[in-house]
Amino acid sequence: MIDEMYIRGVEVNYYFVCKTKLWLFSHNVSLEKESDLVKLGKLVHKEFYRKDRKDVRIGPIAIDVVRKGNELEIQEVKKAKSMEKADLFQMLYYLFYLSNLGIPARGRITYPKSREVVNVELDEKRLRDLEEILREIDGLKRGKMPKPVRKKHCRKCAYFEFCFAG
Amino acid sequence: MRKRNFYIVSDGKLRRKENTIYFENAEGKRPIPINSIYSIYALGSLTITSQALNYLAREGICVHFFNRYGYYTGSFYPRESLISGDVVVKQAEHYLDREKRLYLAKAFVEGSIMNMARVLRRNGEDDTGVISALQGLENSESVEEVMGAEATARTEYYSKFDSMLSGMKFEKRSRQPPENEVNAMISFGNSLLYSAVLTEIYHTQLHPAVSYLHEPSERRFSLSLDLAEIFKPLLVDRLVISLVNKKMVGEGDFDEDFKGVLLSEKGRKKFLKAFNERLERTVKHRTLGRNVSYQRLIRLECYKLVKHILGVEKYRPFVMWW
């Protein structure tokens, strides 16, 4: 239907966090294995919502938590509320992906550590934004690795040494 | 938990019980928590159960083996978990393209020479002889010529060793067998360094067999040899010089027989301790602005190489800045 559908959810997230990280991750240059913050994030994911169905894979997307009631509810569990826009569009992408398959769903982003929940809906305006972003991600992935740009959150990133060691 | 290198010098057995690795021998059983292991150097006669190996593999831990003379014999290099087709293809491209390969071969030797010069200057020696080899390096048009420039620099460098050392003679570089104590330490240090570099390569997407200065056909993990060149002056030569001059090695630390001079078990323990302290020593990194261990510097070198082959940033070799 659309060729952007090979994009993974976390890539949509990384689009907002860092273009270099997005490129490296999508070319399998992953460096998250040794990061304590990544381990913490994985632990949060593992420990919360134990009773629910977790890690449901559909094509390139992997949904954290799925609940079935009258309507399908999907959840993305996040460690901290520091990258809200990135989290939002990651969730919007899941909703978009599912709706393309003819599956209507409701989205929730949960931050168990601060006990916050954000409900997400895909409206016309957001859909247009998302489609534009997906096109850009596609272009980025096909291009050369973007040169790292140093930002405040770089120091905490698993790619920090890779990007700035010279 | 901070991960560290484990050096197993005595004979014994490594086994897994639940989620812990145990080292057992006649003296008892010692737990080694899995999260504390960065890599293992096996220097004694070591038995490992397949359960232990499977577990170490799952956690991505390399085990390096040495025979009873302290010669490196091989590594348990777990199944690669960081695979990037893009990186491997580009890595090979930089080998196949003559100019690209030459650039990297020269860069490695340049780093090696600059670091040799640094060792000389720190010990109050004249480095002009070593530095002048850079001219030959620059004019080199083949990898053989690059190797030649490296050899010239190294001969110059070694010619200064005897005036840097007090109480032990170096005379000249000899290996297999090393003819004296200093050579024995350099050989042992170089093989430990080779293993340390290999561990770092394992934790990146680089393929350890695709190399530039050394021929990939030469040895299995020849990229390790390439990168080790840059770090020998910092991690091996400086260590040997300080052990000799501080009289930390001597009587009883070496064995002499028809195989030449080798570190004794006691000497090997001393050397390993000092080598590991050096790997763990830290220095403030200038662009990262944080402290990094000497061992980590090797990893950063791998990252720089990945960036170079991906065409993001030209590779410049590590040169000691302190």
Would you call A150 exposed, middle or buried from its count of C-beta atoms within 10 A (0-12, 13-18, 19+)? exposed
Work out the minimum CA distance from B141 to partner chain A, whole angstroms.
27
Please spell the DSSP secondary structure of B109-133, one letter per residue: HHHHHHHHHHHHHHTT---HHHHHH
Residue B316 touches partner A, C-beta closer than 8 Å: yes
pTM score, whole prediction: 0.92
Suggest the residue from B286, B294, B303 to mutate for an interface test with chain A (most A CBs closer than 10 A): B303
Residues B195-209 have a mean pLDDT of 96
**Rounded Cα gap, residues B242 and B225, in angstroms:** 24
Contact assessment for residue B285 and residue A165, using Cβ atoms and an 8 Å cutoff: yes
Residue with the bigger pLDDT between B135 and A36: it is B135
- The CA distances from residue B103 to B148, B150, B308, in Å, are 15, 14, 11
Residue B319 contacts A where some CB pair is shorter than 8 Å: no
Are the Cβ atoms of B313 and A29 closer than 8 angstroms? no
> How many C-beta atoms surround the C-beta of residue A42 within 10 A?
13
Instruction: Enumerate the residues of chain A whose CB falls inside 8 A of the CB of residue B300.
Output: 161, 165-166
Of B83, B303, B312, the CB nearest to A147: B312
Q: How far apart are CA B84 and CA B87, in angstroms?
A: 5
Residue A2 confidence (pLDDT): 53
Which chain A residues are closer than 8 Å to B84 by Cβ? Answer: 27-29
Range with the lowest mean pLDDT among A12-16, B63-67, B216-220, B267-271?
A: B216-220
The confidence score (pLDDT) of residue A1 equals: 45
Q: Write down the pLDDT at residue B298.
A: 98
* B288·A160 Cβ contact <8 A: yes
Local confidence pLDDT in tens for the 166 residues of chain A: 455 568 999 999 999 999 999 999 999 998 877 888 888 888 888 888 888 888 888 888 889 888 888 889 999 999 888 888 999 999 999 999 999 999 989 999 999 888 999 999 999 999 999 999 999 999 999 999 999 999 999 999 999 999 999 8
- Cβ contact A29–B85 (<8 Å): no
Instruction: Give me the pLDDT at residue B198, please.
Output: 97
Among B251, B248, B293, B307, CA closest to B272:
B248
Q: Percent of chain B having pLDDT more than 90? A: 89
Mutate to test the interface with B, among A24, A149, A157 (most CBs of B within 10 A): A24
| Closest C-alpha to A110, from A62, A157, A74, A153 | A74
CA A126 to chain centre: 16
Round to whole Å and give the CA distance between A97 and A63.
Answer: 11
Q: Do A164 and B288 touch (CB under 8 A)?
A: yes
Tell me if chain B has a CB within 8 Å of the CB of A158.
Answer: no
Name residue B29's beta-bridge partners: B24
> B199: which DSSP letter?
H
Please write the tens of the pLDDT for every residue from B214-263. 988 766 799 999 999 999 999 999 999 999 999 999 889 999 887 789 99
Nearest chain B CA: its distance from A122 CA (Å): 34
Q: Taking residues B76-92, what's their average pLDDT?
A: 92
Q: Residue A30: closest CA among chain B residues belongs to which residue?
A: B82
> In chain B, whose CA is at the least distance from the CA of A155?
B288
Contacts of B289 (CB under 8 A, 6+ apart): none
Residues near A19 by Cβ (< 8 Å), separated by ≥ 6?
Answer: A140, A146
Determine, for residues A165 and B84 on separate chains, whether the beta-carbon distance falls below 8 Å.
no
Tokens of A46: 């593992």
Provide the pairing of β-strand B260-263 with B254-257. Answer: antiparallel
DSSP A107-163: EEEEETTTTEEEEE---HHHHHHHHHHHHHHHHHHHSPPPPP---GGGGGSTTHHHH
Mean residue pLDDT of chain B comes to: 94
Read off the pLDDT of each residue in B124-135 and give the average, rounded to a whole number: 95
ipTM above 0.90, yes or no: no
Q: Indicate the Cα dihedral angle A130, A133, A139, A141, nearest 10°.
A: -90
Contact assessment for residue B40 and residue B53, using Cβ atoms and an 8 Å cutoff: no
Rounded to a whole number, what is the distance in Å from the CA of B291 to chain A's nearest CA? 11
B157-176 pLDDT tens trace: 999 999 999 999 999 999 88
CB contacts, 8 Å: A155 with chain B: 290
**Angle formed by the axes of helices A84-100 and A124-142, to 10°?**
100
Is the CB of B8 inside 8 Å of chain A's CB atoms? no
pLDDT at B31: 95
